[in-house]
C-alpha cells in the first residue's frame, strides 16, 4: 500500500506574530490566543492538546487529552495516575504539551514539568463531572489489557446500581496534574512557509526570555 501526499498544499496567510505585539509573559499570550480560537468557532474542542511523555519502555508517546484550566502557574489536566501516561510522568515528569488550531493557523508547544495538584482541587473538579464521567473514571483500569468491551459495560451497570442514590467518591488513583512551563513556543503560519515562531524560555530569575526562531 502506498499513497503520495506530496501534492497536499496550503497557503498560510491569516495572521502574523510580531515581537512588538506580545507581552513579557507567555501565559498572557496563550490566554489571548485561546480567546481568539474560541471566538473563531473553528474548533469543536479548542482545549484539546497533545501530551507527550517518555514511556517506561524508553519510547516517547503522544496522546490527546483536554486542558481543564490554565493560570500563570501553568496548565492543568486530569487523568488516571495508574495509566501508562501516569506511570511515565511518575518516572519522568518532564513532558511536552502542544495545541494545533488549524482554523487560525496556529500552534503552541510547551515544555514543562508535571506535578500532582492538591487532592482538594481534584475532588472539586471530580465533583463537577457528570455522573457518567465519574463512573467511567472508576470503571476503567486505564491502559490495562481487558478481555472485551462487555466487561466494561457490565462493571458500569454494577456501579450504576451501587451509586444509584449515593455520592460517587473520587478514586485515589484519579486526579490532576499541573504542568509548569519552562519553554513556550508560539507558531503562526505565514506565506511561503516563512512562519513566525516566537519562543519564551524561563530564566533563573523567573523572567522570560523571548527569541525569534527560524521557520
At 21-76, the pLDDT tens digits run 999 999 999 999 999 999 999 999 999 999 999 999 999 999 999 999 999 999 99
Query: What pTM was computed for the model?
Result: 0.94
| Residues 125-146, mean pLDDT to the nearest whole number | 94
| Residues 118-139, mean pLDDT to the nearest whole number | 96
- Confirm whether 94 is a catalytic residue: no
The CATH classification number of 19-116+176-212 equals 2.30.110.10
Can you tell me the distance from the alpha carbon of 207 to that of 85, in angstroms, rounded to the nearest whole number?
A: 30
Band of pLDDT at residue 166, cut at 50, 70 and 90: confident
Domain-wise residue ranges, the chain: 19-116+176-212
Among 63, 69, 106, 193, the active-site one is 193
Task: Give the pLDDT score at 102.
Answer: 97
Please name which of 38, 36, 54 lies closest in space to residue 46, comparing C-alpha atoms. Answer: 38
| Residues 168-180, mean pLDDT to the nearest whole number | 97
Amino acid at each position: 500500500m502506498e499513497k503520495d501526499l506530496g501534492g497536499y498544499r496550503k497557503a498560510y496567510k491569516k495572521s502574523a506574530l510580531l515581537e512588538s505585539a506580545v507581552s513579557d509573559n507567555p501565559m498572557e499570550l496563550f490566554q489571548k490566543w485561546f480567546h481568539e480560537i474560541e471566538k473563531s468557532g473553528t474548533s469543536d474542542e479548542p482545549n484539546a492538546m497533545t501530551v507527550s511523555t517518555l514511556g517506561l519502555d524508553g519510547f516517547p508517546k503522544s496522546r490527546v487529552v483536554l486542558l481543564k484550566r490554565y493560570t500563570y502557574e501553568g496548565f492543568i489536566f486530569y487523568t488516571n495516575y495508574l495509566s501508562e501516561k501516569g506511570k511515565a510522568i511518575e518516572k519522568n515528569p518532564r513532558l511536552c504539551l502542544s495545541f494545533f488550531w488549524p482554523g487560525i493557523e496556529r500552534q503552541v508547544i510547551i515544555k514543562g514539568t508535571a506535578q500532582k495538584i492538591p487532592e482538594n482541587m481534584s475532588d472539586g473538579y471530580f465533583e463537577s463531572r457528570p455522573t457518567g464521567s465519574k463512573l467511567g473514571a472508576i470503571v476503567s483500569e486505564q491502559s490495562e489489557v481487558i478481555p472485551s468491551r462487555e466487561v466494561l459495560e457490565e462493571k458500569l451497570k454494577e456501579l450504576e446500581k451501587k451509586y444509584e442514590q449515593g455520592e460517587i467518591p473520587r478514586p485515589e488513583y484519579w486526579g490532576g496534574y499541573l504542568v509548569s512551563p519552562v519553554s513556550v513556543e508560539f507558531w503562526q503560519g505565514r506565506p511561503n512557509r516563512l512562519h513566525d515562531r516566537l519562543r519564551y524560555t524561563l530564566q533563573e530569575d523567573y523572567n522570560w526570555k523571548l527569541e525569534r526562531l527560524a521557520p
